[in-house]
């Protein structure tokens, strides 16, 4: 079976179109499919203002619509392209997750008096597309686990989170993910958003606070799972600047960066 794993596309359709999909049986994506430049830049801009004790920039209706349409249109374009070649499975990353809920879109429409696209409805219309949320799929004899992004408690100390709400949220999500991965058990492939802690996860970028550069932003929960269950492959993204590959025991780990790809051939069982 010939599989193409793709790192967080972030709407980079030009890069996606350069991937040689001919002969591919299955496509796996590590999340963050859509482009969210506007939303991401505004988030970090406001964080800098908060840290400096200054007033944040409020979202206007126009801003909100632009951010949502940017993610929606770019995500749909990427998936329509990949699904022309092979069934495509993806997880949710840390960008645009709430957009898959029509209730969230309804709320934004009411808040700003806007008409907005519904991502969930658009995705349902794409043939051979599958959004998998924290579940295992048996695909042609292969056990493939799909773990969406979560906030790992280990980041509280590593990245300096002190907000009580975020610490509580991380604790809950970490415990939930431990249960999910325990239920996954032995896999052939794990598709997850963030890398395992200490491997292909070092922050070094220009938009995040400089205090985070050089720090590890991966997940210890994922690392412990890999060490215990040793899936043959792990595909991830999230920390784009740490794109590369390594091994943890018998497991091949690939951080595929932004729209990077890895083609493998694996025997069905």
CA 179 to chain centre: 19
With 0-12 / 13-18 / 19 or more C-beta atoms within 10 angstroms meaning exposed / middle / buried, residue 181 is buried
Q: How confident is the model at residue 99 (pLDDT cuts 50, 70, 90)?
A: confident
pLDDT band at residue 260 under the 50/70/90 scheme = very high
CA dihedral 102, 65, 260, 243 (to 10 degrees): -100
Per the structure, the complete domain to which residue 177 belongs is given by: 2-265
With tokens 């991966």, the residue in question is 218
Q: Which residues of 70-97 are buried (b: 16+ CB within 10 A; e: fewer)?
A: bbbbbbbbbbbbbbebbbbbbbbbbbbe
Q: How confident is the model at residue 249 (pLDDT cuts 50, 70, 90)?
A: very high
Residue 85 has pLDDT above 90, yes or no: yes
**Per-residue model confidence (pLDDT) at position 267:** 78
- The pLDDT of 234-243, averaged and rounded, is 96
What is residue 163's predicted lDDT score, i.e. its pLDDT?
77
% the chain with pLDDT above 70: 98
- Give the model confidence (pLDDT) of 123-179 as tens digits: 999 999 999 999 999 999 999 999 999 999 988 777 777 778 888 989 999 999 999
Which pLDDT does position 98 carry in this prediction?
Answer: 81
Query: pLDDT at residue 30 above 60?
Result: yes
Q: How many domains does the chain have?
A: 1
More confident residue, 269 or 121: 121
Mean predicted confidence (pLDDT) in 43-68: 91
The pLDDT confidence band at residue 67, using thresholds 50, 70 and 90, is very high
pLDDT (0 to 100) of residue 269: 52
Give tens-digit pLDDT for 174-215. Answer: 999 999 999 999 999 999 999 999 999 999 877 776 777 888
Residue 44 reports pLDDT greater than 90: no
What pLDDT sits at residue 162? 75
Q: What residue has token string 């993204």? A: 237
Beta strand extents in the chain (DSSP E only): 2-6, 26-29, 88-90, 129-131, 135-139, 142-147, 189-192, 233-236, 244-248, 251-255, 261-265
CATH number at residue 88: 3.60.21.10
What pLDDT is recorded for position 53?
93
């Amino acid at each position: 079976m010939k599989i193409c794993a793709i790192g967080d596309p972030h709407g980079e359709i030009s890069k996606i179109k350069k991937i040689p999909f001919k002969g591919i049986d299955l496509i796996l994506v590590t999340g963050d499919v859509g482009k969210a430049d506007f939303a991401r830049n505004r988030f970090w801009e406001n964080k800098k203002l908060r840290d400096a004790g200054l007033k944040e920039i409020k979202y206007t209706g126009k801003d909100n619509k632009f951010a949502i349409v940017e993610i929606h249109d770019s995500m749909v374009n990427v998936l329509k392209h990949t699904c022309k070649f092979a069934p495509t499975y993806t997880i949710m990353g840390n960008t645009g997750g709430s957009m898959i809920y029509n209730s969230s879109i309804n709320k934004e429409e009411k808040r700003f008096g806007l008409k907005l696209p519904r991502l969930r409805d658009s995705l349902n219309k794409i043939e051979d597309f599958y959004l998998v949320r924290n579940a295992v799929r048996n695909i042609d004899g292969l056990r493939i686990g799909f773990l969406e992004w979560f906030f790992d408690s280990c980041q509280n100390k590593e990245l300096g989170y002190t907000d009580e709400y975020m610490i509580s949220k991380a604790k809950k999500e970490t415990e939930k993910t431990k249960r999910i991965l325990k239920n996954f058990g032995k896999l052939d492939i794990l598709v997850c958003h963030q890398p395992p802690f200490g491997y292909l996860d070092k922050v070094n970028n220009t938009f995040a606070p400089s205090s985070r550069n050089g720090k590890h932003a991966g997940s210890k929960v994922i690392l412990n799972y890999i060490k215990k269950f040793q899936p043959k492959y792990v595909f991830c993204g999230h920390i784009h600047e740490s794109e590369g590959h390594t091994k943890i025991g018998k497991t091949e780990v690939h951080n595929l960066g932004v729209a990077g790809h890895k083609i493998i051939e694996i025997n069905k069982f």
